[in-house]
Structure 1
Amino acid sequence: GFSGTNDTQLLLPVHIRQYDLPELQKTDAIVVNNLLQPENENYQSLLINATTENILKQIIRYKETINVILDVGALFIDGTNREIAIKWLNLSDRNQVDYVVYFDCDSIVVDDRQSHSCPFVTSPASERLDRCIFYLDEIHTRGTDFKFPVGFKAAVTLGNGLTKDRFVQACMRMRKLGNGHTLTFWSSHEVHQQIEILKTNSITIDRRRSESNESINLIDILRWVYENTQQATWNGLYHWATQSLSFQRKVSAFQHIVWNDNQQVFTNSIMTDLSKECCEPEITELRSMYGAARKLQTLFEIHHKRYEHTHHHLSIETKDAVLKRLRDYGGTKQRLSQLLDEEQQRELEQELEEERQKELPPSVKPCEPILHEAITRLCDMHSDIIDLTHFPNVFRHLPYAFTGTTFLKECQSENWSKNIWISTEFQRVIETKGESLNPFLRPPRWILVYRNKHLIFLSALEANWLLGRLNFLFHKRQCISSSTTTLRLLLPRIKRNQSIFVNTPTLTIPSLLEHSNGVIPFVIPLEWLVQLFIFNGTLYFETVDEQAQYCRCLSLCPKPRTKQQEEAFEKGWIAIDGFVSNAKHRRQLKLVKVQFPLNLLPFVKQMIENRNNLHVPISSHIGSIIFNSLKLI
């Protein structure tokens, strides 16, 4: 396969063998065959010392749209992933691209054209990949998996020393390679020269390939990649053999510890002797590097002499296996053993020492709950209906819930139904000191249907008191009538086919069954219900009628449209997002009972995000209306 270990199996420890499953042994050939498809014959070379901006501009000017950059050659080095991604987004076509996706500290991040960043999984971009461009830096061209749409084209960068494993791993990020995905290859000037030299020196069956004016193709790129792989394997064999000898010395040192009188602990002298045998020298003396005769030798000859000169008792089996592999694969290339040692010099990298401190938001003080006397009077079934406007310190119209938040200016407070209320306790959550109350917007869960005329959102304390009181009156048979007051639970519909409970007769308090005592339970009408959907962040509709009433409430005319509506759209009566702003046009389009004459869609989107702590999924009924102006049912 192309798991990243196929070409490095010669560098595995001698006691480890790689066994490929028979059915997967052909995978390498399949992958290379997919790479060699004619649609991937796209090669470009870059200028000397090309900067990120130079490369991006050349990619933008390419004859076909490039949706993915696979920077396996690490050519983008003068900026962070975010800087590179945003620069590419700014250069791209606004009519085709809305988002850029990249990795930031191993997390997949999305930026839009307003430079707003958010996690990929919660972004609308995760469901609109056709509107995204993707930048994968060198380290993330392996182990990542995006479901790129058919037709996507990737730019693969070619840098110094690129091996076949890394090259194939990067190309296979395009999972439908050979079946809908295509590649282009972009090399640095230095790599271009290397490929040219290899091509000139190669002997091919087709003599026409020797013409000097022929452009570089995939065969030339693969020849260069395999040459790098061969060189990397040859270089690795020396370090592999050196590591094997070092490991055997350590094993021998542990096996020959001299214990006195059955002692079971390591003494200082034992540890000192052990460290002398196991530790590698921190420095290489000039005498050992340049004092001996400089003689060219093969890898096998160099390590055969090192084994002969060691005084440790080494494993004969391991020694023979190492020397056999060096004899078989080390080749006849000769090097100076001193220069090989020079390549082994230890590099010490200073790591940044940091201690993370998580900064938590400042603590806040909750408001002390209050049970107003006017709330208790709501259960009195024998008196006249209360005029709620006479108790402004207890009951307010629904937009009052947004007091202290940024939603208040956008909610069109004068357009909500006047029979939908909240208690002032519902709005009071924390004792504010001037900060925004957006994070403390109370979720609307308990709603009181008062005499079947008013809907009142309550706090948990108020709902708990009314629950007990209403049940008590029900058992005393004092609140059974067609206009009874009921307490109901309201949930946002955030999954398909989810019950929101508010119109479920068995879950009203008190419980009202249709066949019980002839009482017909009151059903909250759609005109009121869709406003509750907006307020509680609902994502899905249960019926077509709910969807139709929701669109009428917001003065929307989304797709699919009738012939008359399509003509209105062509005339500009209907905006791109489906909103109809002109009252005369609304009447002609039969948009009756419009609750919000101004466009409320931005507010709806913000409410869903606040209530559910997620970005609006485009696959949801309301998400489709917001982003695509499309009805799904």
Structure 2
Amino acid sequence: MLVINYFLNYFVFPREAKQFPHKLVSSAWDLSSSARSKIITGFSGTNDTQLLLPIHIRQDDLPELQKTDAIVVNNLLKAENEYYQSLAINASTDVILNQLVTHQLKINVILDVGALFIDGSNKEIATKWLALSDRNRIDYAVYFKSDSIFVCDRQDHEHRFETSPASERLDHCIFYLDDVHTRGTDFKFPKGFRAAVTLGNGLTKDRFVQACMRMRKLGSGHSLTFWSSHEVHQQILNLKKKISVENREEVNNNDPMGVMDILCWVYENTQQATWDGLHHWASQSISFQRKISAFEPIHWNDNQQVFTNEMMKELAEKCLEPEIIELLRMYGSPKELRTVFEMYSLRYADVGDASSRQIQQAVLRQLKKYGGKKRRLAQLLDEEQQRELEQELEEERQLQRPPAVQPCQPILHDEIKKLCEVNENVDIVSSRDVFQHLNYAFTNTTLFKICQANSWLPNLWVSTEFQRVIATKGESLTPFLRPPRWIVVYRNQQLIFLSPFEANWLMGRLPSNESPITTLRLLLPRTKRIQSIFVNTPTLTVPPLIRFANDNNANFLLPNDWLVQLFIFNGTLYFETVEEQTAFCQCLSLCPNPRTEAEKDAFEKEWIAADGFVANPEHRLSLQLHQSRFHSNPLGFIKQLIENRNNSYASIRSHVGSIILNSTKLI
């Protein structure tokens, strides 16, 4: 007995029997008070709930929109939407998804307005669906997480939809919209998309139509299929039989279910929901009248009033309602069946304030007009109901920012100083404490293992100072990868990336009176179509090459095979010429579309992968990829590097993005 008492007192009662002496109720009546001086404006695609609006709110439909409901219903009744399927009893997520995937019609969107997918999170459901989908056609699953749109790819990488390549490849996506997000969301689904609409218990027309209209081109390019739970199927079947009997029609159980049958069931639910809602609507009106009475003694001065603590306490006491209902009041009185009009006529007798008499009369008129003759037990309005309470702990929000890191103190090596001396020949290869090959820039980052160190040109270097950014030990350097902006072209043979500190020192010391075979140059990534990268602009080198235009040795422009590797290294997204694009594809061992006849044959022989990569060295020679540098598929590395350099994914509309994401050249 002690164990039972302990369990009840510490686990059951604190959670299930949590009550307060009083409650302060707020509703739509308070939000839209008739005392407001401004016009209240709202929007909805349907008007099914206008009977439940506060009595001082009048729905005013625009004439040009009054036909909207009829247009939507007409679109739903089109032949392309005539597919209905009932599910087994207690069908799980896996069972439903398997039926959707094996369905004869290709389904791209799940509109779970019936809330049939209950055994998993949105991500779990979406990724299960993605795993079952056709790999050649579908690459991403889109879903909602904490009211934000997320996308997951086949490698289980999760990203925000807005910055993901999936946002520009909707035809390669499947979409799972849970019940909450089948309203108020807007995706520009491509033409030809088909949705599976789930039907759950008590689904009303408002929710049903709102969900169906996520398919914005319904009736002109989008279509629907309907999937009901076993319980709903029985409800639709019984309603169909009832209607047939009332119309004196022959009942045939073998007749297929259609959209018309679904709409009849939805309208039936809407009537029931509206009738049930009248009880809550009338109760809310009583709470609203109680507040009007509480505020009536206050004398307003130009709508201004200073409330003292005593006034606030008095107002609160007048507005409070009892939370604890006595068992005698709930179950002790005789059971009586009454209409909703009769119930609230008696209740309003207790609220006798003259200021609310007008509201009472208006509410009772509406209850008499629409409440009907259906009766229910008056005690049920106060019946004890099990409520689902979300246990909330008191929280204090704390922002956890990245730990502070200590920057490195810049160092200027003697070898860097010697770069500007004409008569001094710096041995770059031997000075490994100052100069390292290009892949050294990725040291202590997540990119180091996948950068393919031997794929970079041997005359491309970084200074060790370029790689040094923070002094804090134990931190990954991926977020601190230095942007490559300054390069030295040394004796027209070696290219060295420098830190801004080193570049600043050299800027004023490179001689301008000698033949400038050593130049300091600015390099920018081309992130827009029409943008200069400056590296080959003669007027912007230090010293300016324009002064030595007649000296072929001095007027040195970086060749394409150098530029391409710089483009890869700095996250460039666009090319200036077809030659740059060709050199880029050659360097990465890619053979994207559009292809020649020989390349198409190679693709059919599987020499060329779906992403355009050519893995076999012999096949590269046959396809004339003579400038190939990367011998393992580099696309994962390129995507991560672009994301790091530009703080965003490569757009599929960009030259580089189209090649690495869609295997297609744009110029």
Provide the TM-score with structure 2 as the length reference.
Answer: 0.86
What are the superposed Cα offsets for residues 242-297 of structure 1, whole Å, 9 maximum, x if unpaired?
211221122123324799xxx986575x6676555322122233444445454333
1:594 to 615, 628, 632: 628
For the residue of structure 2 that corresponds to 1:202, the secondary structure is helix
Match of 2:524 in 1: 491
2:126 to 85, 97, 117: 85
Match of 2:24 in 1: none
* Pairwise CA RMSD: 2.8
Residue-pair matches, total: 621
Query: Unaligned stretches of 5+ in structure 2?
Result: 1-41
Q: How many Å apart are 1:39 and its aligned residue?
A: 1.0
Match of 2:542 in 1: 509
| Greater Cα offset, 130-139 or 609-618 | 609-618
> Contact between 1:120 and 1:126, CA under 8 Å: does it hold in 2?
yes
- 1:455 equivalenced with 2:495 (yes/no): yes
Q: Quickly say closer, same or farther: Cα 1:502–1:205, change in 2 above 3 A.
A: farther
Match of 2:99 in 1: 58
Match of 2:473 in 1: 433
- 1:615 equivalenced with 2:649 (yes/no): yes
> Contact between 1:400 and 1:422, CA under 8 Å: does it hold in 2?
yes
Q: Quickly say closer, same or farther: Cα 1:417–1:257, change in 2 above 3 A.
A: closer
> Contact between 2:549 and 2:555, CA under 8 Å: does it hold in 1?
no
Q: Quickly say closer, same or farther: Cα 1:325–1:396, change in 2 above 3 A.
A: same
Question: In structure 2, what is the Cα distance between the partners aligned to 1:109 and 1:543?
Answer: 36
For the residue of structure 1 that corresponds to 2:461, the secondary structure is strand
1:160 to 197, 201, 204: 201
* % same residue: 65
What are the superposed Cα offsets for residues 205-264 of structure 1, whole Å, 9 maximum, x if unpaired?
9876732321221111111111111111111112112211221122123324799xxx98
Q: How many Å apart are 1:586 and its aligned residue?
A: 3.5
For the residue of structure 1 that corresponds to 2:458, the secondary structure is coil
> Contact between 1:609 and 1:616, CA under 8 Å: does it hold in 2?
yes
Q: How many Å apart are 1:494 and its aligned residue?
A: 1.9
What are the superposed Cα offsets for residues 382-426 of structure 1, whole Å, 9 maximum, x if unpaired?
x15433224222222222222223433333323322222211111
- 1:556 equivalenced with 2:590 (yes/no): yes
For the residue of structure 1 that corresponds to 2:210, the secondary structure is helix
Match of 1:96 in 2: 137
For the residue of structure 1 that corresponds to 2:48, the secondary structure is helix
What are the superposed Cα offsets for residues 110-168 of structure 1, whole Å, 9 maximum, x if unpaired?
12223221211222222222222111111111111112222222111111111111111
- 1:44 equivalenced with 2:94 (yes/no): no
- 1:574 equivalenced with 2:608 (yes/no): yes
Question: In structure 2, what is the Cα distance between the partners aligned to 1:253 and 1:365?
Answer: 61
Match of 1:173 in 2: 214
Q: How many Å apart are 1:331 and its aligned residue?
A: 1.8
Q: How many Å apart are 1:346 and its aligned residue?
A: 8.0
Question: In structure 1, what is the Cα distance between the partners aligned to 2:247 and 2:547?
Answer: 88
Q: Quickly say closer, same or farther: Cα 1:5–1:319, change in 2 above 3 A.
A: farther
Amino acid at match of 1:255: E
Q: Quickly say closer, same or farther: Cα 1:422–1:314, change in 2 above 3 A.
A: same
Question: In structure 2, what is the Cα distance between the partners aligned to 1:435 and 1:307?
Answer: 70
> Contact between 1:2 and 1:169, CA under 8 Å: does it hold in 2?
no
Question: In structure 2, what is the Cα distance between the partners aligned to 1:506 and 1:301?
Answer: 91
Q: How many Å apart are 1:48 and its aligned residue?
A: 1.7
> Contact between 1:300 and 1:323, CA under 8 Å: does it hold in 2?
yes
Q: How many Å apart are 1:47 and its aligned residue?
A: 1.6
Question: In structure 2, what is the Cα distance between the partners aligned to 1:183 and 1:209?
Answer: 29
What are the superposed Cα offsets for residues 97-116 of structure 1, whole Å, 9 maximum, x if unpaired?
22211111112111222322
Question: In structure 2, what is the Cα distance between the partners aligned to 1:96 and 1:397?
Answer: 41
Query: Unaligned stretches of 5+ in structure 1?
Result: none
Match of 1:536 in 2: 570
Amino acid at match of 1:453: Q
Please show how residues 114-193 of structure 1 align to structure 2 within 5 Å.
Answer: 114-193=155-234
Match of 1:411 in 2: 451
Q: Quickly say closer, same or farther: Cα 1:16–1:523, change in 2 above 3 A.
A: same
Question: In structure 1, what is the Cα distance between the partners aligned to 2:627 and 2:283?
Answer: 83
Q: How many Å apart are 1:327 and its aligned residue?
A: 2.0
Q: Quickly say closer, same or farther: Cα 1:465–1:604, change in 2 above 3 A.
A: same
For the residue of structure 1 that corresponds to 2:419, the secondary structure is helix
Provide the TM-score with structure 1 as the length reference.
Answer: 0.91
Match of 2:659 in 1: 625
1:523 to 546, 550, 557: 557
Question: In structure 1, what is the Cα distance between the partners aligned to 2:52 and 2:665?
Answer: 58
> Contact between 1:2 and 1:165, CA under 8 Å: does it hold in 2?
no
Match of 2:336 in 1: 295
Match of 2:392 in 1: 351
Q: Quickly say closer, same or farther: Cα 1:408–1:284, change in 2 above 3 A.
A: closer
> Contact between 2:418 and 2:424, CA under 8 Å: does it hold in 1?
no
Question: In structure 2, what is the Cα distance between the partners aligned to 1:438 and 1:168?
Answer: 48
> Contact between 2:244 and 2:250, CA under 8 Å: does it hold in 1?
no
